[in-house]
């Protein structure tokens, strides 16, 4: 039986599927199958792909999964693929998203801002995640959270209308 994986402070708050994807070089379909068939457990209990992992959780994976495990490599950021950065803090990265670049991959297009971030932040315990969206054909300022707490905070602000967004069209 393989040793359980311990969730680090930097990984805490991620969805189980994201946690496994950052630890194993396996297709998402394989990771889903491991979870669905009960081969992945959090603290001994069955889990779902979108359950969140907490600091110190023990995540059990199938014994044969060790072959795909990635060692925790130092993060080396390559920002050459990313659109211009407007602002950056320890909690947020703000991009100037060009028109034509989708935020997430989808039918007919594999290039997206999140795919570029996955390549740019390979090895990071938490990949920056968008706190809101813009349509593919819309250019504008787009915020990405560097940790799960910031993402949840900003999303709750949008939902509760504490923060408002505005659109400006130049003709």
Looking at the annotation, which residues are catalytic? 135
Comparing CA positions, the residue from 77, 110, 97, 78 lying closest to residue 143 is 97
d(CA 82, CA 103): 12
Angle subtended at Cα 22 by Cα 58 and Cα 98, rounded to the nearest 5 degrees: 140
d(CA 73, CA 133): 30
CA-based max dimension of the chain: 63
User: By the 8 A CB rule, do 86 and 96 touch?
Assistant: yes
């Amino acid at each position: 039986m393989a040793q359980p994986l311990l969730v680090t402070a930097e990984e805490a708050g991620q969805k189980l599927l994201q946690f496994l994807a950052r630890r194993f070089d396996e297709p998402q379909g394989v990771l889903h199958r491991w979870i669905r068939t009960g081969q992945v457990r959090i603290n001994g209990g069955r889990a779902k792909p979108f359950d969140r992992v907490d600091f110190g959780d023990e995540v059990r994976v199938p014994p044969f999964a060790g072959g795909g495990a990635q060692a925790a490599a130092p993060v080396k950021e390559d920002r050459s693929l990313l659109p211009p950065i407007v602002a950056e803090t320890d909690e947020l990265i703000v991009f100037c998203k060009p028109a034509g670049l989708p935020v997430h991959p989808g039918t007919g297009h594999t290039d997206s801002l999140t795919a570029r971030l996955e390549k740019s932040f390979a090895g990071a315990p938490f990949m920056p995640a968008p706190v809101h969206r813009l349509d593919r054909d819309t250019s504008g300022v787009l915020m990405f959270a560097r940790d799960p707490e910031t993402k949840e905070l900003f999303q709750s602000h949008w939902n509760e209308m504490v923060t408002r967004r505005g659109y400006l069209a130049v003709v």
